[in-house]
Amino acid sequence: MTRVLYIEDNDDNVYTLKLQFESLDSFEILVAENGETGCSMALSEQPDIIIMDLDMPEVDGWEATRRLKSNHATKAIPIIALTAHAMLGSREKALAAGCDEFATKPVDFEQLIKKVQLLANRHPINDSIEDG
């Protein structure tokens, strides 16, 4: 079971993506409605991967990613940036902020699943379980 933390402030986006992931039976979806809550949940829940909306009120995805990647307890958790504002240079900016991958809205679910599976399988927690 792959534990995915989805940090997103739009209820419709949360509902849609959660429904798609849960239809696959191999994912547990945790949801945080903003970057502040997302950082706390990442620390307490230690998900296999984080899908991070970049444009949120209070603490946005850029700042939340910087916080997670600077914290020893969460820095190894892969983060996929997710945004509707795919401007020239957005991918590079997200990667520079610490994201491991980038996806745009509307979500191409098949592509997102491939990215999630690839990154979650490289997560150090999974590596240590497999080695142990």
Mean pLDDT, consecutive 10-residue stretches, the chain (132 aa), reads: 96 95 93 97 97 92 96 97 85 92 93 94 52 36
As for how many domains the chain has, the answer is: 1
- Give me the pLDDT at residue 90, please: 86
Rounded distance, CA 104 to CA 112, Å? 9
- The pTM for the full model equals 0.90
57 three-class SS: coil
Residue 59's φ and ψ, nearest 5 degrees, are: -100, 115
Task: Please provide residue 103's backbone torsions phi and psi, each rounded to the nearest 5 degrees.
Answer: -145, 155
What is the extent of the structural domain holding 95?
A: 2-131
Per-residue model confidence as pLDDT tens digits over 55-68: 998 899 999 999 99
The CATH code of the domain that includes 101 is 3.40.50.2300
Given a contact cutoff of 8 angstroms between Cβ atoms, the answer to whether 52 and 33 are in contact is no
